[in-house]
Amino acid sequence: MSENTLNLGFSAPSASGDERITYEDVLRAQDRLKVLKSRAAKSSLRLLWLLAGPGVLVMLGENDGPSMVSYATTGATYGIGFFVPFILLTFLMAFVVQEMTVRLGAATHRGHAELIFQRFGPFWGYFAMGDLVFGNLLTLVTEFIAIQAGGLYFGVPSWASVTIGVALVIVSLTFRRYATWERVLMGLAVFNLLFIPAALYAHPDGAALSRALAAWGPLPGGFTLAFLTLILANVGATVTPWMIFFQQSAVVDKGMTRADVPQGRTDTAIGAILAAIAAVATLVAAAPLFAAKVDVSTFANGADFATALVPLIGSTGATLFALGILEAGLVAAMTISTSSSYALAETMSAAEKAPARHSLNLDFAHGRLFYGVAIASTVLAAGIVLIPGAPLLAMTLTVNVIATLLMAPALLLLLLLANDTEIMGDLANGRWANLAGGTTVVAIAVVGALYGVITAFPNLLPK
Amino acid sequence: MAYDPALVSALEPDQLVAATKRPYPRRKLSRGVLALLVVLRVFIVIAVPIVIYAFVHALLVPQ
């Protein structure tokens, strides 16, 4: 701990049998020992492998069902052009935001929700948690819509695909070991890259891609409301509140320290690059719909895109696309439900309302609230999707409004915490970090608020 | 619980669960930060009804 950080007066355990040591500590220590050995052996690649996870998971997790539909809509509406470099820019913004959570977690060993509660008081603590958990529940509904849609493409009935999805989320929580949970999810998240071969089946024009990257164009139709909406939707598809809470909590649960920040940054950068490639691949895979002038305005989910792509990129490409949508919904359901668990248990713990612990290293007896939140929100969201006539469209629209309108408070609280030298010490934002972070935060907050308003009041602007 | 002290020493002292249960004190907020938080509260007072309106309005749209 650096000299100018708060000293909470805790000393190292001195002997075996210290009652302050929990089983969670022991499991985390086992992981840390591997990290310390790798660092001592100067094995950079193994060190990066051991410390990678939160960044890759958060970035690929945010490439979720609705996000992939946004990218596909963009490709089908505008083809290969302006949005290719724009999507890359949004992931750069995501990296700037998420890098702050790595430093916060490593410096404080506190999750984002408990840090907000402790440093800014109960109002902001409860607000941030309530906003997140409610928004996450609605987002989970949209993930199960993606799982359901992906299943329907393969002829699997809705009840079966949704039930399998719930079962897989619950099974992922039974590991009771953060490291195992993380590696299993990383293995699943790799399938987000299925959009790359799907894009190759679309036979993209390399020269057109190069021109798009170099010239930020073409932009057919110019600046219209549809263009503005897709700009805002693509930003909303890349940076969302759950990512901030999830990555900081995962960094803490993984046991990362100040010494691990460089690897945490690299992990986040790798995640951003992989997710950006998958996002652009989704746009490219859907671009033949633009060339064929297919009207996608009535498409409700990813399966509609996959079905429409069959005659254009072939059944193999379309199947890969549908599998990608399934994976996107499933991995996001696992990470987002865990994000709710962390936030709610951290807030209850900070408020001393319940002996709530918050770690994937907990057994069920000690983590009833933690695991209960993830399981309950998953089952509830899946149940809603299966209710005949449930207002799924209303929920999807509300998710967009909540996530984007309330992004401003989440980002500003993040920026304030990252500048809090009492807890951050020498990891607090410097001038350049504040310039990059501040610019990104203001841009996303303004864009998010605008998107929220346009979604809520679609007739506000002329068509 | 019984454990190997050498193993647990792989954790930094302030990383232990018992240490993380000690809360950080409330931050002393400067006037600028206080003003910012007031603006945020006003923003939320405006944003929450928009969210509710969006949901209710979307409910009325035929599925």
CB atoms within 10 A of CB A258: 15
* Dist CA A241 CA A135 (whole Å): 9
pLDDT of A1? 44
Q: Is A455 helix (H, G, I), strand (E, B) or coil?
A: helix
User: A2, A425 in Cβ contact below 8 A?
Assistant: yes
Other CB atoms within a 10 A radius of the CB of residue A159 amount to: 13
Q: How many cross-chain Cβ pairs, A to B, lie less than 8 Å apart?
A: 160
Cis peptide leading into B5, omega within 30 of 0?
Answer: no
B8 and chain A in contact, CB less than 8 A: yes
The 3-state DSSP class for residue A340 equals helix
Entry pTM? 0.91
C-alpha span between A56 and A62 (Å, rounded):
10
Of B3, B22, B59, the CB nearest to A26: B3
8 A C-beta contact, residue A27 and residue A177 = yes
Supply the pLDDT for residue A4: 46
pLDDT of residue B26: 92
Cα A355 to chain centroid, rounded: 28
Which residue of chain B is at minimal alpha-carbon distance from A388?
B63
Task: List all residues of chain A from 324 to 363 with a beta carbon under 8 Å from chain B.
Answer: 349-350, 357
pLDDT tier, B62 (very low <50, low <70, confident <90, very high otherwise): low
Q: Which residue has the tokens 């895979």?
A: A285
Q: What is the pLDDT of residue B9?
A: 86
Cβ atoms of A285 and A75 within 8 Å: the answer is yes
**Confidence category of residue B1, pLDDT binned at 50, 70, 90:** low
> Sign of torsion, CA B14 B19 B24 B25?
negative
Per-residue pLDDT of chain A (463 residues; tens, 9 = 90+): 444 455 554 555 544 445 578 888 999 999 999 999 999 999 999 999 999 999 999 999 999 988 898 899 889 988 898 999 999 999 999 999 999 999 999 999 999 999 999 999 999 999 889 989 988 998 899 899 999 989 999 999 999 999 999 999 999 999 999 999 999 999 999 999 999 999 999 999 899 999 999 988 788 777 777 787 778 777 877 888 899 999 999 999 999 999 999 999 999 999 999 999 999 999 999 999 998 888 887 787 778 899 999 999 999 999 999 999 999 999 999 999 999 999 999 999 888 766 678 999 999 988 999 999 999 999 999 999 998 877 776 677 677 677 777 788 888 899 999 999 999 999 999 999 899 888 887 887 787 777 777 777 777 665 5
Cα A217 from Cα A447, distance rounded (Å): 21
Judge contact between A19 and B9, C-beta under 8 A.
no
What pLDDT does A437 receive? 82
> Is the Cβ–Cβ distance between A138 and A395 less than 8 Å?
yes
Q: Which residues of A133-156 are buried (b: 16+ CB within 10 A; e: fewer)?
A: bbbbbbbbbbbbbbbbbbbbbeeb
Cβ–Cβ below 8 Å for A119 and B15: no
Does the CB of B11 have a partner CB in chain A at under 8 Å? yes
Which own/partner pairs from B7-11 qualify as long-range (CB within 8 Å, at least 24 positions apart)? B7/A26, B7/A29, B7/A30, B7/A33, B8/A13, B8/A21, B8/A25, B8/A26, B8/A29, B9/A12, B9/A13, B9/A29, B10/A29, B10/A30, B10/A32, B10/A33, B10/A35, B10/A36, B11/A25, B11/A28, B11/A29, B11/A32, B11/A255
pLDDT at A229 (0 to 100): 75
Single-letter residue type at A262? P
Give the number of other Cβ atoms within 10 Å of residue B44's Cβ: 18
Three-class SS of residue A42?
coil
Between the alpha carbon of residue A44 and those of residues A35, A102, A231, the distances in Å are 10, 19, 39
From residue A384, how far is each of A144, A162, A328, A378, A457 by CA, in Å? 9, 11, 19, 10, 25
Model pLDDT, residue A426 = 94
What's the pLDDT score for residue A40?
Answer: 94
Instruction: Give CA separation, A59 vs A90, A341, A400, in Å.
Output: 12, 19, 18
When scoring B4, B26, B27 by the number of chain A Cβ atoms within 10 A, the one with the most, hence best to mutate, is B27
Do A363 and A134 contact (CB within 8 A), yes or no? no
State the best of B4, B9, B20, B28 to mutate against chain A, taking most chain A CBs within 10 Å: B20
Q: How many residues does chain A have?
A: 463
DSSP reduced 3-state for A390: coil
Quote the DSSP letter at residue A461. Answer: S
CB-CB neighbours of A45 under 10 Å: 8
Q: What residue in B sits closest to A111 (Cα-Cα)?
A: B20
- List the 44-63 stretch of B: residues with Cβ below 8 A of A: 44, 47, 50-51, 53-55, 57-59, 61, 63
ipTM: 0.88
Q: Does A7 touch chain B (CB under 8 A)?
A: no
* Integer Cα distance of A221 and A293 in angstroms: 14
| A414 at B interface, C-beta within 8 A | no
Q: Which residues contact A244 (CB under 8 A, 6 or more apart)?
A: A97, A98, A101, A112, A410, A411, A414
What's the CA gap between A150 and A119, in Å, rounded?
Answer: 43
